[in-house]
Structure 1
Amino acid sequence: MSAQKAAAGSAAPSPAPSPEPPGAEVPIMGRALPWILAVGGGIGLLAAFALAVEKVNSLANPDYVPTCSVNPVISCGTVMDTPTAEVFGFPNPLLGIACFAIVTAIGMAMLSGASFRPWFWWGLQGGVIFGIGFVHFLIFQSLYKISALCPYCMVVWAVMIPIFSYVTLDNVRTGRIPLPAGARSAAGVLIRNHTVVVTVWYLLIIAAIAQAFWSFWTGQI
């Protein structure tokens, strides 16, 4: 009798899997996110640190010419001498060092197998929203107010785009950020084409830089 019960138990159908969140058919998102955070955060950390060093050297010596000042357009010194370089009352690179250190630590923890509760992901989502918004404020200021580009700042721009994109899309994919039914199909398209999203974003920034400094670029040719 016990053998029959065991056989019947083994033949019982397994529970149906729970529905996958939108975009779950693209598992590369989950695999790529830790690397995006660790590598992107590390690059951003180095760029912010280098810019902080340049700022310290400029404060110590008013005649110091930053190594990232190449010409009238590619000029860290011009950017650092504006109020935009200290939006919160202290040099922006200090904020970058703190934030990118956190992002790098999260990425390394994920690569080591760590997992986090939903509230943690909501906090990270809030952080990357602030980061991408602040970066685009700086982009606007550089292109249309200061009329100069800081190479180290542009490195920060470059890494924030994939960090924001992959955190947001993976939060949507896994259901950490719930979406109404009408938005799921659109989100699925973005998730399946995540590399296109980042590429188009880069191209738009490059086009904006080309347009803002077109007279300079053409004059140099």
Structure 2
Amino acid sequence: MTTAAGRHVRTTGTGTARGLGLLLVLTGAAGLLASWVITLDKFKLLEDPGFTPGCSLNPVVSCGSVMESDQAAAFGFPNPMLGLVAYAVVVCVGVTLLTGAVLPRWYWLLFEAGALFGVGFVTWLQFESLYRINALCLWCVLAWVATITLFWYVTGFTVRHRLLPAPRWVRTLFEEFTWVVVVVHLGIIGMLILTRWWDFWTS
């Protein structure tokens, strides 16, 4: 590997980059699956307003309600279409790492910026889903989990290899406990979902 002043990160020999590559392939594939299913259901809903997506199970877990919301097309087109492109890129980066390729620092910083945008976007979608749309889409939740997981592991990788400046304790945290950060983040979302519809879950 090199420091932030270097040009490349050479960690494939230790398996670090390959491990990240596998995680990116898995999370990217999960996001692609979610985006693909939602896209298909969205087209069916446009063709037939009476169509009920298979994941619309009850008033809370209602994919149809989410798909018909304004937030489902935040940029003027269905959000999952953006996901099809973004998660495909994630899979491609993962495959590249699995081949043992050495990526330049600028590439990692660009990828980190994309991951940051992704986790920021899904955080906004989580808020809108819980407190504005008042419904959950299970496929969306899968995309949330995939995005959050890949964001923290990519961030951990860039911090550990000093591609991003960070205090020593932060580097130490990501060296040992990246999984804890992911679990805490997902746990917070799970608690928000649980408390938001506590009366429904316990009725």
TM-score (norm 2): 0.91
Q: Which residue is 2:112 aligned to?
A: 125
Matches within 5 A, 1:77-156: 77-156=64-143
One-letter amino acid matched to 1:185: W
CA positional deviation for 1:161: 1.2
Identity of aligned pairs, percent? Answer: 39
CA positional deviation for 1:127: 0.1
Tell me the distance in 2 between the aligned counterparts of 1:121 and 1:68.
36
In the alignment, structure 1 residue 162 sits paired with structure 2 residue 149: yes
One-letter amino acid matched to 1:138: L
Q: Which residue is 1:188 aligned to?
A: 172
CA positional deviation for 1:62: 0.9
Alignment RMSD, CA only? 2.1
CA positional deviation for 1:28: 6.6
In the alignment, structure 1 residue 215 sits paired with structure 2 residue 202: no
Larger radius of gyration: 1
Q: Which runs of 4+ in 1 moved over 4 A?
A: none
Unaligned stretches of 5+ residues in structure 1:
1-17
Tell me the distance in 1 between the aligned counterparts of 2:15 and 2:168.
19
CA positional deviation for 1:212: 0.7
Q: Secondary structure at the match of 1:131?
A: helix
CA positional deviation for 1:46: 0.9
One-letter amino acid matched to 1:204: I
Q: Which residue is 2:185 aligned to?
A: 201
TM-score (norm 1): 0.84
CA positional deviation for 1:144: 0.9
Tell me the distance in 2 between the aligned counterparts of 1:167 and 1:189.
14
Q: Secondary structure at the match of 1:69?
A: coil
Matches within 5 A, 1:1-80: 29-80=16-67
Tell me the distance in 2 between the aligned counterparts of 1:47 and 1:200.
23
User: Which range is displaced more, 106-115 or 119-128?
Assistant: 106-115
Q: Deviations over 1:74-133 (max 9, x none)?
A: 011000111000000000000000000000011011111222111111110110000000
Query: What is the aligned residue count?
Result: 196
One-letter amino acid matched to 1:200: V
Q: Deviations over 1:30-57 (max 9, x none)?
A: 4421111111101110110000000000
Q: Secondary structure at the match of 1:196?
A: helix
Q: Secondary structure at the match of 2:53?
A: coil
